[in-house]
A and B are shown apart, each in its own frame.
Chain A
Amino acid sequence: MSAARHYPGRPRGGLATWASLALGLAFLASLWAVDASPERLIAVPGEVLIFLGRFFAPDMFFLSDPETGAWMCSVDWPACRAALGAHWGGILDYGRESVVAGILESIQIAWIGTIIGALLSLPLAFLGAGQLFPVLSRGIKALSSTIRAVPEILLAIYLIPIVGLGATAGALAIGLHSVGMLSKLGAEVVESIDMGPVEAVEAAGGSRWAAIRYAVLPQVIPEILAQWLFRFELNLRASAILGVVGAGGVGALLLNALRYRQFDKAAAVLILTVLAVLVIDMVSSALRRRLTRA
Protein backbone atom coordinates (compact mmCIF):
# COMPACT_ATOMS: atom_id res chain seq x y z
CA MET A 1 0.00 0.00 0.00
CA SER A 2 2.87 2.34 0.67
CA ALA A 3 4.52 1.90 -2.70
CA ALA A 4 5.41 5.10 -4.48
CA ARG A 5 2.52 6.37 -6.52
CA HIS A 6 2.83 5.25 -10.09
CA TYR A 7 0.86 7.11 -12.69
CA PRO A 8 0.19 5.15 -15.82
CA GLY A 9 1.67 6.87 -18.84
CA ARG A 10 -0.34 7.75 -21.89
CA PRO A 11 -0.99 4.64 -23.90
CA ARG A 12 1.19 4.43 -26.98
CA GLY A 13 1.85 2.10 -29.84
CA GLY A 14 -1.73 0.89 -30.12
CA LEU A 15 -3.59 0.12 -33.28
CA ALA A 16 -4.55 3.78 -33.68
CA THR A 17 -0.91 4.89 -33.81
CA TRP A 18 0.00 2.37 -36.49
CA ALA A 19 -3.16 3.17 -38.45
CA SER A 20 -2.42 6.89 -38.45
CA LEU A 21 1.19 6.25 -39.39
CA ALA A 22 0.08 4.14 -42.34
CA LEU A 23 -2.45 6.78 -43.31
CA GLY A 24 0.23 9.47 -43.20
CA LEU A 25 2.54 7.44 -45.43
CA ALA A 26 -0.26 6.71 -47.87
CA PHE A 27 -1.08 10.41 -47.91
CA LEU A 28 2.50 11.39 -48.73
CA ALA A 29 2.71 8.73 -51.43
CA SER A 30 -0.51 10.06 -52.94
CA LEU A 31 0.79 13.62 -52.91
CA TRP A 32 3.87 12.47 -54.77
CA ALA A 33 1.71 10.53 -57.24
CA VAL A 34 -0.49 13.48 -58.19
CA ASP A 35 2.56 15.71 -58.81
CA ALA A 36 1.78 17.99 -55.90
CA SER A 37 5.35 19.21 -55.47
CA PRO A 38 5.91 22.05 -52.98
CA GLU A 39 6.60 24.63 -55.70
CA ARG A 40 3.43 23.62 -57.48
CA LEU A 41 1.38 23.82 -54.30
CA ILE A 42 2.72 27.26 -53.40
CA ALA A 43 1.56 28.58 -56.76
CA VAL A 44 -1.95 27.16 -56.38
CA PRO A 45 -3.58 29.78 -54.09
CA GLY A 46 -2.40 32.58 -56.36
CA GLU A 47 -3.68 30.84 -59.48
CA VAL A 48 -7.02 30.20 -57.86
CA LEU A 49 -7.38 33.79 -56.62
CA ILE A 50 -6.58 35.29 -60.03
CA PHE A 51 -8.94 32.81 -61.61
CA LEU A 52 -11.74 33.73 -59.21
CA GLY A 53 -11.02 37.40 -59.78
CA ARG A 54 -11.64 36.93 -63.50
CA PHE A 55 -15.21 35.99 -62.73
CA PHE A 56 -15.93 39.38 -61.26
CA ALA A 57 -13.68 41.68 -63.25
CA PRO A 58 -12.44 41.73 -66.87
CA ASP A 59 -8.88 40.74 -67.78
CA MET A 60 -7.87 44.38 -68.01
CA PHE A 61 -8.06 44.66 -64.22
CA PHE A 62 -5.20 42.26 -63.77
CA LEU A 63 -2.82 43.84 -66.29
CA SER A 64 -0.05 46.22 -65.43
CA ASP A 65 2.13 48.27 -67.75
CA PRO A 66 5.32 46.25 -68.37
CA GLU A 67 7.52 49.39 -68.47
CA THR A 68 6.24 51.48 -65.60
CA GLY A 69 4.66 48.67 -63.61
CA ALA A 70 1.56 50.80 -63.10
CA TRP A 71 -1.77 49.03 -63.13
CA MET A 72 -3.79 49.63 -66.28
CA CYS A 73 -6.73 50.76 -64.25
CA SER A 74 -4.80 53.52 -62.50
CA VAL A 75 -3.61 54.83 -65.90
CA ASP A 76 -6.86 54.70 -67.82
CA TRP A 77 -9.73 54.58 -65.37
CA PRO A 78 -12.59 55.45 -67.81
CA ALA A 79 -11.64 52.58 -70.15
CA CYS A 80 -11.36 50.29 -67.15
CA ARG A 81 -14.77 51.33 -65.90
CA ALA A 82 -16.25 50.74 -69.34
CA ALA A 83 -14.71 47.26 -69.44
CA LEU A 84 -16.12 46.48 -66.02
CA GLY A 85 -19.54 47.67 -67.17
CA ALA A 86 -19.34 45.48 -70.27
CA HIS A 87 -18.30 42.48 -68.14
CA TRP A 88 -21.22 42.77 -65.74
CA GLY A 89 -23.55 43.60 -68.61
CA GLY A 90 -22.43 40.33 -70.20
CA ILE A 91 -23.06 38.44 -66.96
CA LEU A 92 -26.58 39.84 -66.70
CA ASP A 93 -27.43 39.29 -70.37
CA TYR A 94 -26.16 35.75 -70.43
CA GLY A 95 -27.90 35.06 -67.16
CA ARG A 96 -31.22 36.23 -68.58
CA GLU A 97 -30.80 34.53 -71.94
CA SER A 98 -29.74 31.01 -71.12
CA VAL A 99 -28.67 30.42 -67.53
CA VAL A 100 -32.12 30.89 -66.04
CA ALA A 101 -33.53 28.40 -68.55
CA GLY A 102 -30.73 25.94 -67.70
CA ILE A 103 -31.34 26.24 -63.97
CA LEU A 104 -35.09 25.80 -64.42
CA GLU A 105 -34.38 22.66 -66.43
CA SER A 106 -32.10 21.42 -63.64
CA ILE A 107 -34.87 22.02 -61.11
CA GLN A 108 -37.32 20.11 -63.30
CA ILE A 109 -34.92 17.19 -63.67
CA ALA A 110 -34.36 17.08 -59.93
CA TRP A 111 -38.10 17.24 -59.23
CA ILE A 112 -39.03 14.45 -61.64
CA GLY A 113 -36.15 12.36 -60.31
CA THR A 114 -37.33 12.88 -56.75
CA ILE A 115 -40.93 11.99 -57.63
CA ILE A 116 -39.82 8.79 -59.40
CA GLY A 117 -37.53 7.90 -56.50
CA ALA A 118 -40.18 8.67 -53.88
CA LEU A 119 -42.95 6.65 -55.53
CA LEU A 120 -40.82 3.59 -56.22
CA SER A 121 -38.98 3.65 -52.90
CA LEU A 122 -42.09 3.82 -50.69
CA PRO A 123 -43.07 0.15 -51.09
CA LEU A 124 -39.40 -0.86 -51.00
CA ALA A 125 -38.95 0.93 -47.68
CA PHE A 126 -41.60 -1.30 -46.09
CA LEU A 127 -40.50 -4.48 -47.83
CA GLY A 128 -36.91 -3.75 -46.84
CA ALA A 129 -37.66 -3.37 -43.13
CA GLY A 130 -36.12 -6.32 -41.30
CA GLN A 131 -38.74 -6.76 -38.60
CA LEU A 132 -41.71 -6.75 -41.00
CA PHE A 133 -40.36 -8.87 -43.86
CA PRO A 134 -37.27 -10.69 -42.58
CA VAL A 135 -36.59 -12.71 -45.73
CA LEU A 136 -37.34 -10.12 -48.42
CA SER A 137 -35.48 -7.33 -46.68
CA ARG A 138 -32.03 -8.83 -47.24
CA GLY A 139 -32.51 -9.01 -50.98
CA ILE A 140 -33.97 -5.53 -51.19
CA LYS A 141 -31.15 -4.05 -49.13
CA ALA A 142 -28.54 -5.66 -51.35
CA LEU A 143 -30.31 -4.36 -54.46
CA SER A 144 -30.63 -0.83 -53.13
CA SER A 145 -27.02 -0.66 -52.01
CA THR A 146 -25.90 -1.78 -55.47
CA ILE A 147 -27.96 0.96 -57.11
CA ARG A 148 -26.67 3.51 -54.64
CA ALA A 149 -23.04 2.68 -55.37
CA VAL A 150 -23.30 3.92 -58.97
CA PRO A 151 -23.12 7.73 -59.20
CA GLU A 152 -26.01 9.39 -61.07
CA ILE A 153 -23.72 10.57 -63.81
CA LEU A 154 -22.65 7.01 -64.67
CA LEU A 155 -26.29 5.91 -64.80
CA ALA A 156 -26.89 8.79 -67.20
CA ILE A 157 -24.11 7.51 -69.47
CA TYR A 158 -26.11 4.31 -69.91
CA LEU A 159 -29.48 6.00 -70.20
CA ILE A 160 -28.46 8.50 -72.87
CA PRO A 161 -28.21 5.91 -75.69
CA ILE A 162 -31.50 4.40 -74.55
CA VAL A 163 -33.73 7.46 -74.20
CA GLY A 164 -31.68 9.97 -76.19
CA LEU A 165 -29.53 12.96 -75.31
CA GLY A 166 -31.27 15.39 -72.98
CA ALA A 167 -33.17 16.00 -69.81
CA THR A 168 -35.15 12.73 -69.85
CA ALA A 169 -31.99 10.68 -69.39
CA GLY A 170 -30.97 12.94 -66.52
CA ALA A 171 -34.33 12.68 -64.79
CA LEU A 172 -34.38 8.88 -65.07
CA ALA A 173 -30.78 8.60 -63.84
CA ILE A 174 -31.54 10.73 -60.79
CA GLY A 175 -34.77 8.83 -60.20
CA LEU A 176 -32.98 5.49 -60.26
CA HIS A 177 -30.25 6.64 -57.88
CA SER A 178 -32.89 8.15 -55.57
CA VAL A 179 -34.72 4.82 -55.39
CA GLY A 180 -31.59 3.20 -54.01
CA MET A 181 -30.95 6.00 -51.54
CA LEU A 182 -34.52 6.54 -50.35
CA SER A 183 -35.42 2.88 -49.93
CA LYS A 184 -32.39 2.38 -47.68
CA LEU A 185 -33.16 5.44 -45.55
CA GLY A 186 -36.87 4.60 -45.52
CA ALA A 187 -36.22 1.04 -44.39
CA GLU A 188 -34.08 2.38 -41.53
CA VAL A 189 -36.93 4.64 -40.44
CA VAL A 190 -39.41 1.77 -40.55
CA GLU A 191 -37.03 -0.40 -38.54
CA SER A 192 -36.79 2.19 -35.78
CA ILE A 193 -40.55 2.41 -35.06
CA ASP A 194 -42.36 1.46 -31.88
CA MET A 195 -43.72 -2.06 -32.49
CA GLY A 196 -46.44 -1.69 -29.83
CA PRO A 197 -49.16 -0.40 -32.17
CA VAL A 198 -48.34 -3.14 -34.71
CA GLU A 199 -48.88 -5.80 -32.06
CA ALA A 200 -52.10 -4.09 -30.99
CA VAL A 201 -53.52 -4.16 -34.52
CA GLU A 202 -52.53 -7.80 -34.98
CA ALA A 203 -53.95 -8.73 -31.55
CA ALA A 204 -57.24 -7.10 -32.56
CA GLY A 205 -57.32 -9.40 -35.58
CA GLY A 206 -56.00 -6.96 -38.19
CA SER A 207 -54.13 -8.29 -41.19
CA ARG A 208 -50.49 -7.54 -42.03
CA TRP A 209 -51.65 -4.79 -44.41
CA ALA A 210 -53.93 -3.27 -41.79
CA ALA A 211 -50.97 -3.21 -39.40
CA ILE A 212 -48.86 -1.35 -41.96
CA ARG A 213 -51.64 1.06 -42.82
CA TYR A 214 -52.77 1.91 -39.29
CA ALA A 215 -49.71 1.24 -37.13
CA VAL A 216 -46.58 1.72 -39.23
CA LEU A 217 -47.50 4.38 -41.77
CA PRO A 218 -48.60 7.05 -39.27
CA GLN A 219 -45.34 6.67 -37.40
CA VAL A 220 -43.03 6.98 -40.38
CA ILE A 221 -44.73 9.46 -42.72
CA PRO A 222 -43.23 12.69 -41.33
CA GLU A 223 -39.72 11.30 -41.33
CA ILE A 224 -40.07 9.85 -44.83
CA LEU A 225 -41.49 13.09 -46.23
CA ALA A 226 -38.55 14.95 -44.70
CA GLN A 227 -36.18 12.57 -46.42
CA TRP A 228 -37.89 13.14 -49.75
CA LEU A 229 -37.42 16.87 -49.35
CA PHE A 230 -33.77 16.43 -48.40
CA ARG A 231 -33.31 14.16 -51.39
CA PHE A 232 -34.72 16.91 -53.61
CA GLU A 233 -32.04 19.27 -52.30
CA LEU A 234 -29.30 16.74 -53.09
CA ASN A 235 -30.84 15.90 -56.47
CA LEU A 236 -30.75 19.54 -57.46
CA ARG A 237 -26.97 19.57 -56.98
CA ALA A 238 -26.70 16.30 -58.90
CA SER A 239 -28.83 17.53 -61.79
CA ALA A 240 -26.72 20.67 -62.06
CA ILE A 241 -23.72 18.57 -63.08
CA LEU A 242 -25.47 16.08 -65.37
CA GLY A 243 -25.03 18.44 -68.30
CA VAL A 244 -21.37 17.39 -68.36
CA VAL A 245 -22.34 14.17 -70.15
CA GLY A 246 -25.20 15.76 -72.09
CA ALA A 247 -28.11 14.86 -69.83
CA GLY A 248 -29.59 18.34 -69.63
CA GLY A 249 -29.43 21.16 -67.14
CA VAL A 250 -27.04 23.95 -66.34
CA GLY A 251 -23.79 21.92 -66.17
CA ALA A 252 -23.10 21.97 -69.91
CA LEU A 253 -23.20 25.78 -69.92
CA LEU A 254 -20.52 25.99 -67.21
CA LEU A 255 -18.33 23.39 -68.87
CA ASN A 256 -18.44 25.20 -72.22
CA ALA A 257 -17.96 28.63 -70.71
CA LEU A 258 -14.84 27.44 -68.85
CA ARG A 259 -13.53 25.60 -71.90
CA TYR A 260 -13.66 28.76 -74.03
CA ARG A 261 -12.55 31.00 -71.14
CA GLN A 262 -15.75 33.06 -71.25
CA PHE A 263 -15.46 34.20 -67.67
CA ASP A 264 -18.54 36.42 -67.69
CA LYS A 265 -20.67 33.46 -68.75
CA ALA A 266 -19.08 31.16 -66.17
CA ALA A 267 -19.71 33.78 -63.50
CA ALA A 268 -23.37 34.02 -64.52
CA VAL A 269 -23.78 30.23 -64.18
CA LEU A 270 -22.00 30.08 -60.82
CA ILE A 271 -23.78 33.03 -59.21
CA LEU A 272 -27.25 31.98 -60.35
CA THR A 273 -26.75 28.31 -59.44
CA VAL A 274 -25.55 29.17 -55.94
CA LEU A 275 -28.50 31.52 -55.48
CA ALA A 276 -31.04 28.98 -56.73
CA VAL A 277 -29.67 26.19 -54.54
CA LEU A 278 -29.52 28.47 -51.49
CA VAL A 279 -33.15 29.54 -51.90
CA ILE A 280 -34.41 25.99 -52.43
CA ASP A 281 -32.35 24.72 -49.49
CA MET A 282 -33.85 27.39 -47.26
CA VAL A 283 -37.44 26.63 -48.24
CA SER A 284 -36.92 22.89 -48.01
CA SER A 285 -35.15 22.94 -44.64
CA ALA A 286 -37.88 25.17 -43.18
CA LEU A 287 -40.47 22.62 -44.34
CA ARG A 288 -38.41 19.74 -42.98
CA ARG A 289 -38.09 21.39 -39.59
CA ARG A 290 -41.89 21.68 -39.38
CA LEU A 291 -42.35 18.06 -40.44
CA THR A 292 -39.96 16.48 -37.95
CA ARG A 293 -40.81 18.79 -35.04
CA ALA A 294 -44.40 17.55 -34.79
Chain B
Amino acid sequence: MSAARPPKPSPPWALYGVILAVVGGMTLWSAFGVGLSAREIVCNLGGGTRLLRESWPPDFGFLPRLWGPFLETLQIALIGTVVGGIIAIPVAVLAARPVSPNWITWFLDRNFMNVLRTMPDLFWAMLFAAAVGFGPLAGALALSVFTVAVVSKLFSESMESIDLNLPEAVRAAGGSWVQMVRFSVLPQVWPHYASYVMYAFELNVRASMVLGLVGAGGIGMILNTQRASFEYERVTMIILMVLVAVLVIEQISIAIRRRLI
Protein backbone atom coordinates (compact mmCIF):
# COMPACT_ATOMS: atom_id res chain seq x y z
CA MET B 1 0.00 0.00 0.00
CA SER B 2 2.56 2.52 -0.95
CA ALA B 3 0.62 5.72 -1.14
CA ALA B 4 1.58 7.54 -4.30
CA ARG B 5 2.40 11.02 -3.15
CA PRO B 6 1.33 13.68 -5.60
CA PRO B 7 4.30 15.63 -6.92
CA LYS B 8 5.12 18.80 -5.07
CA PRO B 9 3.79 21.72 -7.10
CA SER B 10 6.70 23.59 -8.60
CA PRO B 11 6.82 27.25 -7.71
CA PRO B 12 5.97 29.72 -10.50
CA TRP B 13 9.58 30.59 -11.31
CA ALA B 14 8.61 32.70 -14.32
CA LEU B 15 6.40 34.91 -12.17
CA TYR B 16 9.10 35.25 -9.52
CA GLY B 17 11.59 36.20 -12.24
CA VAL B 18 9.33 38.91 -13.61
CA ILE B 19 8.66 40.32 -10.13
CA LEU B 20 12.35 40.29 -9.28
CA ALA B 21 13.24 42.00 -12.57
CA VAL B 22 10.61 44.72 -12.10
CA VAL B 23 11.49 45.40 -8.45
CA GLY B 24 15.24 45.26 -9.10
CA GLY B 25 14.94 47.46 -12.18
CA MET B 26 12.83 50.04 -10.34
CA THR B 27 15.32 50.03 -7.45
CA LEU B 28 18.36 50.53 -9.66
CA TRP B 29 16.64 53.24 -11.70
CA SER B 30 15.57 55.02 -8.52
CA ALA B 31 18.94 54.66 -6.84
CA PHE B 32 20.65 56.32 -9.80
CA GLY B 33 17.96 58.96 -10.03
CA VAL B 34 18.15 59.82 -6.37
CA GLY B 35 21.95 59.81 -6.53
CA LEU B 36 22.34 57.47 -3.61
CA SER B 37 26.10 57.15 -3.18
CA ALA B 38 27.86 55.87 -0.11
CA ARG B 39 30.89 58.08 -0.82
CA GLU B 40 28.92 61.30 -0.64
CA ILE B 41 27.30 60.28 2.63
CA VAL B 42 30.63 59.35 4.20
CA CYS B 43 32.22 62.62 3.06
CA ASN B 44 29.37 64.59 4.63
CA LEU B 45 29.47 62.69 7.87
CA GLY B 46 31.80 65.25 9.46
CA GLY B 47 29.29 68.04 8.90
CA GLY B 48 26.59 65.72 10.07
CA THR B 49 28.18 64.94 13.41
CA ARG B 50 28.85 68.63 13.99
CA LEU B 51 25.19 69.31 13.35
CA LEU B 52 24.10 66.58 15.73
CA ARG B 53 26.44 67.92 18.43
CA GLU B 54 25.01 71.39 17.93
CA SER B 55 21.45 70.18 18.00
CA TRP B 56 21.59 67.98 21.03
CA PRO B 57 21.07 69.88 24.22
CA PRO B 58 17.75 71.37 23.14
CA ASP B 59 17.29 75.04 23.92
CA PHE B 60 14.80 74.86 26.78
CA GLY B 61 14.96 78.63 27.17
CA PHE B 62 13.09 78.80 23.88
CA LEU B 63 10.11 76.90 25.27
CA PRO B 64 8.05 79.88 26.56
CA ARG B 65 7.97 81.37 23.06
CA LEU B 66 6.55 78.13 21.68
CA TRP B 67 3.31 77.82 23.67
CA GLY B 68 1.36 80.32 21.59
CA PRO B 69 2.15 78.80 18.18
CA PHE B 70 1.70 75.34 19.67
CA LEU B 71 -1.81 76.20 20.82
CA GLU B 72 -2.53 77.64 17.38
CA THR B 73 -1.40 74.35 15.85
CA LEU B 74 -3.87 72.40 17.99
CA GLN B 75 -6.62 74.88 17.12
CA ILE B 76 -5.94 74.44 13.41
CA ALA B 77 -6.11 70.68 13.82
CA LEU B 78 -9.37 70.91 15.78
CA ILE B 79 -11.08 73.17 13.24
CA GLY B 80 -9.90 71.01 10.38
CA THR B 81 -11.20 67.88 12.07
CA VAL B 82 -14.62 69.30 13.02
CA VAL B 83 -15.34 71.01 9.70
CA GLY B 84 -13.94 68.17 7.61
CA GLY B 85 -15.66 65.55 9.75
CA ILE B 86 -19.07 67.19 9.23
CA ILE B 87 -18.64 67.61 5.47
CA ALA B 88 -17.43 64.03 5.21
CA ILE B 89 -20.81 62.62 6.32
CA PRO B 90 -22.85 63.49 3.19
CA VAL B 91 -19.87 62.77 0.94
CA ALA B 92 -19.54 59.30 2.47
CA VAL B 93 -23.28 58.53 2.40
CA LEU B 94 -23.55 59.33 -1.29
CA ALA B 95 -20.48 57.23 -2.08
CA ALA B 96 -21.64 54.07 -0.28
CA ARG B 97 -23.01 51.65 -2.85
CA PRO B 98 -26.08 50.29 -1.06
CA VAL B 99 -27.12 53.69 0.32
CA SER B 100 -26.44 56.03 -2.59
CA PRO B 101 -29.70 57.10 -4.26
CA ASN B 102 -28.64 56.39 -7.83
CA TRP B 103 -25.80 55.13 -9.94
CA ILE B 104 -24.72 58.52 -11.30
CA THR B 105 -24.42 60.15 -7.86
CA TRP B 106 -22.44 57.18 -6.61
CA PHE B 107 -20.08 57.27 -9.58
CA LEU B 108 -19.47 61.05 -9.44
CA ASP B 109 -18.96 61.13 -5.69
CA ARG B 110 -16.70 58.12 -5.74
CA ASN B 111 -14.38 59.75 -8.27
CA PHE B 112 -14.54 63.07 -6.45
CA MET B 113 -13.31 61.26 -3.34
CA ASN B 114 -10.52 59.56 -5.25
CA VAL B 115 -9.23 62.81 -6.74
CA LEU B 116 -9.45 64.48 -3.32
CA ARG B 117 -7.29 61.74 -1.84
CA THR B 118 -4.52 62.00 -4.44
CA MET B 119 -3.45 65.46 -3.25
CA PRO B 120 -0.84 65.51 -0.47
CA ASP B 121 -1.81 67.54 2.62
CA LEU B 122 0.84 70.22 2.15
CA PHE B 123 -0.31 70.80 -1.45
CA TRP B 124 -3.68 71.84 -0.07
CA ALA B 125 -1.92 74.08 2.44
CA MET B 126 0.11 75.75 -0.33
CA LEU B 127 -3.00 76.28 -2.44
CA PHE B 128 -5.07 77.75 0.38
CA ALA B 129 -2.19 79.91 1.57
CA ALA B 130 -1.95 81.36 -1.92
CA ALA B 131 -5.74 81.72 -2.25
CA VAL B 132 -6.80 83.23 1.09
CA GLY B 133 -3.48 84.59 2.33
CA PHE B 134 -0.82 83.28 4.69
CA GLY B 135 -1.92 82.39 8.19
CA PRO B 136 -3.78 79.84 10.29
CA LEU B 137 -7.02 80.13 8.31
CA ALA B 138 -5.29 78.63 5.27
CA GLY B 139 -4.06 75.75 7.42
CA ALA B 140 -7.50 75.12 8.89
CA LEU B 141 -9.07 75.05 5.41
CA ALA B 142 -6.36 72.71 4.11
CA LEU B 143 -6.85 70.29 6.98
CA SER B 144 -10.63 70.42 6.50
CA VAL B 145 -10.25 69.21 2.93
CA PHE B 146 -7.70 66.63 3.99
CA THR B 147 -10.05 65.34 6.71
CA VAL B 148 -12.92 65.03 4.23
CA ALA B 149 -10.63 62.94 2.02
CA VAL B 150 -9.56 60.60 4.84
CA VAL B 151 -12.84 60.20 6.74
CA SER B 152 -15.22 59.92 3.79
CA LYS B 153 -13.27 57.05 2.27
CA LEU B 154 -13.17 55.00 5.48
CA PHE B 155 -16.73 55.90 6.47
CA SER B 156 -18.26 54.99 3.12
CA GLU B 157 -16.45 51.68 3.23
CA SER B 158 -17.91 50.86 6.63
CA MET B 159 -21.38 51.80 5.34
CA GLU B 160 -21.03 49.22 2.61
CA SER B 161 -21.02 46.40 5.13
CA ILE B 162 -24.09 47.37 7.20
CA ASP B 163 -27.18 45.25 7.83
CA LEU B 164 -29.42 46.14 4.87
CA ASN B 165 -32.62 44.80 6.43
CA LEU B 166 -33.09 47.93 8.53
CA PRO B 167 -33.02 50.39 5.61
CA GLU B 168 -35.46 48.13 3.80
CA ALA B 169 -37.77 48.17 6.81
CA VAL B 170 -37.75 51.98 6.92
CA ARG B 171 -38.50 52.17 3.20
CA ALA B 172 -41.27 49.58 3.57
CA ALA B 173 -42.83 51.64 6.35
CA GLY B 174 -42.98 54.60 3.97
CA GLY B 175 -39.86 56.46 5.07
CA SER B 176 -38.14 58.82 2.67
CA TRP B 177 -34.53 58.40 1.60
CA VAL B 178 -33.36 60.97 4.14
CA GLN B 179 -35.29 59.22 6.92
CA MET B 180 -33.82 55.92 5.85
CA VAL B 181 -30.27 57.29 6.11
CA ARG B 182 -30.98 59.07 9.38
CA PHE B 183 -32.74 56.27 11.23
CA SER B 184 -31.36 53.04 9.80
CA VAL B 185 -27.98 53.62 8.13
CA LEU B 186 -26.16 56.15 10.29
CA PRO B 187 -27.05 54.61 13.70
CA GLN B 188 -25.31 51.43 12.61
CA VAL B 189 -22.04 53.17 11.78
CA TRP B 190 -21.75 56.04 14.29
CA PRO B 191 -19.12 54.24 16.42
CA HIS B 192 -17.00 53.71 13.31
CA TYR B 193 -17.46 57.35 12.38
CA ALA B 194 -16.30 58.53 15.81
CA SER B 195 -13.26 56.30 15.55
CA TYR B 196 -12.36 57.58 12.06
CA VAL B 197 -12.75 61.20 13.11
CA MET B 198 -10.39 60.59 15.99
CA TYR B 199 -7.91 58.92 13.70
CA ALA B 200 -8.18 61.97 11.43
CA PHE B 201 -7.51 64.21 14.40
CA GLU B 202 -4.27 62.31 15.08
CA LEU B 203 -3.24 62.74 11.45
CA ASN B 204 -4.22 66.40 11.56
CA VAL B 205 -2.16 67.15 14.65
CA ARG B 206 0.83 65.57 12.95
CA ALA B 207 0.17 67.46 9.71
CA SER B 208 -0.54 70.79 11.40
CA MET B 209 2.98 70.80 12.85
CA VAL B 210 4.43 71.12 9.35
CA LEU B 211 1.79 73.37 7.76
CA GLY B 212 3.82 76.40 8.80
CA LEU B 213 6.63 75.38 6.44
CA VAL B 214 4.47 76.70 3.60
CA GLY B 215 3.10 79.61 5.58
CA ALA B 216 -0.18 78.11 6.75
CA GLY B 217 0.17 78.93 10.45
CA GLY B 218 1.07 77.05 13.59
CA ILE B 219 4.35 75.98 15.11
CA GLY B 220 5.83 75.18 11.69
CA MET B 221 6.26 78.91 10.96
CA ILE B 222 8.73 79.22 13.85
CA LEU B 223 10.34 75.98 12.82
CA ASN B 224 10.92 77.38 9.35
CA THR B 225 12.66 80.56 10.55
CA GLN B 226 14.87 78.70 13.05
CA ARG B 227 15.78 76.12 10.41
CA ALA B 228 16.72 78.79 7.91
CA SER B 229 19.09 80.39 10.42
CA PHE B 230 20.55 76.99 11.43
CA GLU B 231 19.51 77.29 15.09
CA TYR B 232 19.36 73.53 15.38
CA GLU B 233 19.18 73.42 19.18
CA ARG B 234 15.90 75.31 18.82
CA VAL B 235 14.76 73.06 15.99
CA THR B 236 15.36 70.10 18.31
CA MET B 237 13.29 71.80 21.01
CA ILE B 238 10.38 72.25 18.59
CA ILE B 239 10.59 68.71 17.31
CA LEU B 240 10.75 67.34 20.84
CA MET B 241 7.58 69.24 21.64
CA VAL B 242 5.86 67.94 18.51
CA LEU B 243 6.95 64.41 19.36
CA VAL B 244 5.56 64.52 22.89
CA ALA B 245 2.29 66.10 21.77
CA VAL B 246 1.75 63.59 18.98
CA LEU B 247 2.54 60.61 21.23
CA VAL B 248 0.22 61.82 24.00
CA ILE B 249 -2.68 62.53 21.64
CA GLU B 250 -2.13 59.20 19.91
CA GLN B 251 -2.31 57.29 23.19
CA ILE B 252 -5.49 59.09 24.30
CA SER B 253 -7.10 58.55 20.94
CA ILE B 254 -6.17 54.85 20.85
CA ALA B 255 -7.61 54.37 24.33
CA ILE B 256 -10.91 56.04 23.37
CA ARG B 257 -11.12 54.22 20.05
CA ARG B 258 -10.65 50.86 21.75
CA ARG B 259 -13.68 51.58 23.94
CA LEU B 260 -15.77 52.71 20.99
CA ILE B 261 -15.54 49.60 18.83
Contact = CB atoms under 8 A, between A and B. Distances in A.
B235 A149 contact: no
Given A33-B75, A40-B137, A241-B121, A163 B210 contact: no
Interface string B207-246: 1011001100100000100010010100100010011001
A261 to B, nearest CB: 8
Interface in B14-53: 26-27, 29-31, 33-37, 40-41, 44-45, 47-48, 51-52
Q: At the interface, is chain A mostly helix, strand, loop or mixed?
A: helix
A238 B30 CA distance: 16
Interface residues of B, number: 66
B72 A238 contact: no
B119 interface: yes
Contacts of B207: 151
Given A27-B79, A34-B137, A51-B131, A238 B120 contact: yes
Given A33-B75, A36-B140, A241 B132 contact: no
A34 B217 contact: yes
Nearest to B29: A108
Contacts, number: 176
Contact of B78 (A30, A105, A111, A168): A30
Nearest to A115: B27
Given A107-B30, A112-B36, A251 B132 contact: no
A254 B120 CA distance: 12
7 contacts: A104-B33, A149-B250, A162-B48, A162-B52, A164-B44, A270-B123, A273-B118
Given A34-B79, A35-B135, 4 more contacts: A105-B33, A115-B30, A162-B41, A255-B126
Interface of B: 26-27, 29-31, 33-37, 40-41, 44-45, 47-48, 51-52, 55, 71-72, 74-76, 78-79, 82, 114-115, 118-123, 126-132, 135-137, 139-141, 206-207, 209-210, 213-214, 217, 223, 227, 230, 232, 235, 239, 242-243, 246-247, 250
